[in-house]
Chains A and B, each alone.
Chain A
Amino acid sequence: MSARHEGPAVLSAFVRGVGLLGPGLPSWQSGAPVLAGAAPYQPCPTVLPAPQALPAAERRRTGATVKLAIGIAQQAVDAAAIDPVRLAAVFASSSGDGAICHEICETLATDDRQISPTRFHNSVHNAAAGYWSIATGATAASSAICAYDASFAAGLLEALTQIAVSGAPALLCAYETTYPEPLRAKRPAPDHFGAALVLVPAPQAGGLARITAQLSDAPADRMSDPRLELLRAGIPAARSLPLLRLLARRESGRAVLDYLPEQRLAVEVLGCP
């Protein structure tokens, strides 16, 4: 294992594909120029794609969270031109599917209490990971992690750690869907948002950048456009935006991402020529 050393860890990987879906950011292809500052940001509600990769019977059963996660994971995997079957995957989200949670809690608050079996198994935090595996035939390990507002950095840290230890590529898929009322009042978020990265251990033709992460005491970077900053601050998966901005510019630089109260995750980006 080459990554091990004494003292603070510094882990690297190469970004090979990106997936993006959020308000006014309908894909990485059309969102990257906006994040790079080359095109105007025009906010409009996030539109979730139907998960075409799933069999029709499964597709009918999926809610917003699964649609979002599979949509961005598929974008990133397509961009990376990588076979998902043996691709390890880290799914990071601060919550499961809010609509399903609401429906279950509403039913359980009545005398009837007969909840739908499909809703129940779709309520698990790893539902998106499970459907992704079914959709793509992926049999490699997949995880579903949560660190509340720190979920993106926690997911990135886990993906980089897996790559350092295994020497194999990994997919990071970070996503967040909105809660309906009355939960929304307790956990407000402006819209659905997701970002996915295919990360590989060694440089390959067509890669976007090398990223190197370490823990840091520096404050998290903000977005200069106040509307994008609203997304960053309001949606855990959008805490990725300062990193995505650098990747979109295809520039070298440093993005400090929100993580835990005591520390942030600083990511050095070295653009690939």
Chain B
Amino acid sequence: MRPLLVSRFTATSYIGRGIGETAASLRARRSGLVPCAFETVRLDTYVGEVPGIAQESLPGELERFDCRNNRLAQLGLRQDGFLEAVRESAGRWGRRRIGLILGTSTSGMLATELAYRRRDPASGALPPDFDYAATQNSYSLGDFVRRRLGLEGPASVISTACSSSAKAFGAAWRMIEAGWIDAAVVGGVDSLCLTTLYGFHALQLVSPAPCRPFDAARDGISIGEAAAFALLERAPASLDSGSILLTGSGESSDAYHMSSPHPQGRGAREAMEQALAMAHLSAADIDYVNLHGTGTPSNDAAEGYAVSGLFGPAVKASSTKGATGHTLGAAGALEAVICAIGLTQRLMPGSANTLRLDPELGLDYLCETRPDERFRRALSNSFGFGGSNCSLVLERAA
């Protein structure tokens, strides 16, 4: 497949609204995941809660889509001139020639959780104002963003847990390559809800402290929330210096277990190898790997094994989840955008919170953010429940 131009990108997470704040936080290695005070949740854990979601209001005609996830989506769309960039792109290609493929794991699930507290005492019915299609359903995110952007091209939402929005990049790329569309809005939005907080807690995968990816004493994830978007377009014949390109994407399945990775990261390695092959690169060409790096003992061990096995022990790598928390279905898009920010600003983000590296994991794991004028190629990993793996390669045009 021919490389695509990532003509615009933006991210909103706990560490910042838009590229500027996000980059500043990455430079400062800012984390500050906070003790969970979300909604009525009483769990001994830390979260990356995005401020300002409650104040976000949807346009009147899209009122029925009102829920935390779609508010976060809109908050994200409003940053970095993204709405304007999509409008320009629609003018160039046509509304029907721009696809929309987003990833989420829980969409507007919180709306359903809250509606279940307001059931009719006699009949058990959910309240009349609860709108399943516009909130809980996975496609609610796609439907809302498509309307908000005024797009009319092919659309879908990918929901493969924590690889969802990385896979959105691959799916949109294929659709452009096959000729369905000329450009695509891709991204991921996931927001805090009780299902994931209590669910990961039930699986004993949540840390009681801020998560510490690749630390010898790592003990679980911290859940975050984010909205990250990118506009992918057919690359023009000549590129501006510093343009960001999507050059590789690889997807695989573990065929191993629903909630644990293959211990040697078999599927992870296959996804990375495919992404490199598509980009016509060898492992030595990659300057930096943004790890999935959730901070659970088994995830990081499997990924460390797979990454060091493929790239060798000298590859520079880090997880940015110590800063943002694990943003689940949004993580793939968020971390692809973090790579794009890093490539644009020539910096490799250091890992927040990681204090004492696990010597077993065999990588040049970055605990400090590192400026690097030669930083040109990044690979980003996203792995999810069900053994769903996706790796992306992003490059900076010379």
Residues of A within 8 A of B (CB): 1, 3-9, 11, 94-96, 101, 104-106, 108-109, 113-117, 120-127, 129-131, 133-134, 136-148, 150-151, 154, 157-158, 160-162, 164-165, 181-183, 185-187, 215, 260, 262-263
Q: Is the CB–CB distance between A133 and B160 below 8 Å?
A: no
Q: Could you write out 19 A-B pairs with CB less than 8 Å apart?
A: A4-B179, A104-B195, A108-B195, A113-B198, A121-B203, A121-B258, A123-B195, A130-B258, A139-B253, A139-B266, A143-B158, A144-B388, A145-B158, A146-B142, A146-B159, A165-B174, A182-B126, A187-B132, A215-B180
Q: A120-B199, A148-B143 are known contacts. Are A142 and B388 too (CB-CB below 8 A)?
A: yes
Q: Is the CB–CB distance between A94 and B195 below 8 Å?
A: no
Q: How far is the CA of A104 from the CA of B160 in the complex (A)?
A: 19
- Given contact pairs A105-B195, A116-B202, A126-B386, a sample of 12 additional A-B residue pairs in the complex whose CB atoms are under 8 Å apart: A3-B179, A9-B180, A96-B138, A109-B119, A124-B385, A124-B386, A130-B258, A131-B386, A143-B158, A146-B139, A146-B156, A165-B1
Among all A-B residue pairs, the 7 with the closest Cβ atoms = A130-B386, A120-B199, A125-B159, A141-B251, A9-B179, A146-B138, A148-B139
Q: Is the CB–CB distance between B158 and A144 below 8 Å?
A: yes
Q: Is the CB–CB distance between A117 and B178 below 8 Å?
A: no
Chain B residue numbers with a CB within 8 Å of A96 are 138, 159
Chain-A contact segment, one of B74-82, B109-117, B213-221: B109-117
Chain A residue numbers with a CB within 8 Å of B139 are 94, 146-148, 150-151
Nearest-neighbour CB distance to chain B for A10, whole angstroms, equals 8
Chain A residue numbers with a CB within 8 Å of B198 are 108, 113-115, 120
Q: A9-B178, A94-B137, A117-B199 are known contacts. Are A124 and B156 too (CB-CB below 8 A)?
A: no
Q: How far is the CA of A142 from the CA of B253 in the complex (A)?
A: 7
Q: A125-B159, A146-B138, A263-B96 are known contacts. Are A161 and B178 too (CB-CB below 8 A)?
A: yes
Nearest-neighbour CB distance to chain A for B190, whole angstroms, equals 12
Nearest-neighbour CB distance to chain A for B209, whole angstroms, equals 21
Instruction: Report the nearest A residue to B95, measured CB to CB.
Output: A262
Cross-interface CB contact of B387 among A101, A133, A215, cutoff 8 Å:
A133
Q: How far is the CA of A198 from the CA of B177 in the complex (A)?
A: 22
Chain B residue numbers with a CB within 8 Å of A185 are 125-126
1/0 contact string of B238-269 vs chain A (CB within 8 Å): 00000000000001111111110000001100
Q: A108-B113, A148-B133 are known contacts. Are A131 and B157 too (CB-CB below 8 A)?
A: no
Q: How far is the CA of A114 from the CA of B197 in the complex (A)?
A: 11
Q: A125-B159, A146-B156, A148-B143 are known contacts. Are A117 and B202 too (CB-CB below 8 A)?
A: yes
1/0 contact string of B87-128 vs chain A (CB within 8 Å): 000000000100000000100000011001101000111100
Residues of B within 8 A of A (CB): 1, 96, 105, 112-113, 116-117, 119, 123-126, 130-133, 137-140, 142-143, 152, 154-161, 167, 171, 174-175, 177-180, 194-195, 198-200, 202-204, 251-259, 266-267, 270, 384-388
Q: How far is the CA of A144 from the CA of B158 in the complex (A)?
A: 6
Chain A residue numbers with a CB within 8 Å of B156 are 145-147, 150-151, 154, 158
Nearest-neighbour CB distance to chain B for A134, whole angstroms, equals 6
Q: Is the CB–CB distance between A164 and B386 below 8 Å?
A: no
Q: How far is the CA of A183 from the CA of B156 in the complex (A)?
A: 23
Q: A4-B178, A126-B388 are known contacts. Are A133 and B138 too (CB-CB below 8 A)?
A: no
Chain B residue numbers with a CB within 8 Å of A125 are 105, 138, 159-161
Counting chain B CB atoms within 10 Å of each CB, which of A101, A126, A142, A158 scores highest?
A: A126
Nearest-neighbour CB distance to chain B for A128, whole angstroms, equals 9
Q: Is the CB–CB distance between A136 and B199 below 8 Å?
A: no
Q: Is the CB–CB distance between B154 and A154 below 8 Å?
A: yes
Q: How far is the CA of A139 from the CA of B161 in the complex (A)?
A: 17
Cross-interface CB contact of B385 among A130, A147, A161, A260, cutoff 8 Å:
A130
Q: How far is the CA of A254 from the CA of B267 in the complex (A)?
A: 40
Counting chain A CB atoms within 10 Å of each CB, which of B123, B131, B154, B177 scores highest?
A: B154
Q: How far is the CA of A137 from the CA of B266 in the complex (A)?
A: 12
